[in-house]
Structure 1
C-alpha cells in the first residue's frame, strides 16, 4: 500500500526538521516543495508532499499516517 502525506508549516528550521524526520522514517519526497505567503501573519509557509510504501496493511481513513 502506498501512503501520502502533505507536510506544512512556517518556513523555518522546524519545517526542515519535520521533513528530515519523515525521510529518516522511510518516507520519500514527492514533487517539489511549495511556498505561500500569509499576509495576515507576514510569514512564509512551506509544504512538501511525501509518500511511503508499506507492506501488509490495508488503508483505513482513521490511520495515523505519521505513525506508519
Structure 2
C-alpha cells in the first residue's frame, strides 16, 4: 500500500482514516482502539476535531502488512 502522505508528519482527520480502513463509524474506530493497542491514537484539536498522525497511520499499516506473513 502506498504511503498516505509524504514523509512529513501531517494530521489526518479521523473521518478520512475511518474511510481508509473501511469502517462505517467513529464508534468502530474507538472499539478497535480498545482491542488493538498498536492502533494509531487520536489527537484532539480545535474542540471536538479528532486527527491522527500520518506517520503513526503509515507505521500501523506497515505493521499489519508484515504481520500477515
TM-score tier, shorter chain, comes to: 0.3 to 0.5
Normalized against structure 1, the TM-score is what? 0.35
Structure 1 or 2: more strand by fraction: 1
Structure 1 or 2: more helix by fraction: 2
Higher Cα Rg, which structure: 1
Normalized against structure 2, the TM-score is what? 0.34
The answer to which structure, 1 or 2, has the higher relative contact order (CA under 8 A, 6+ apart) is 1
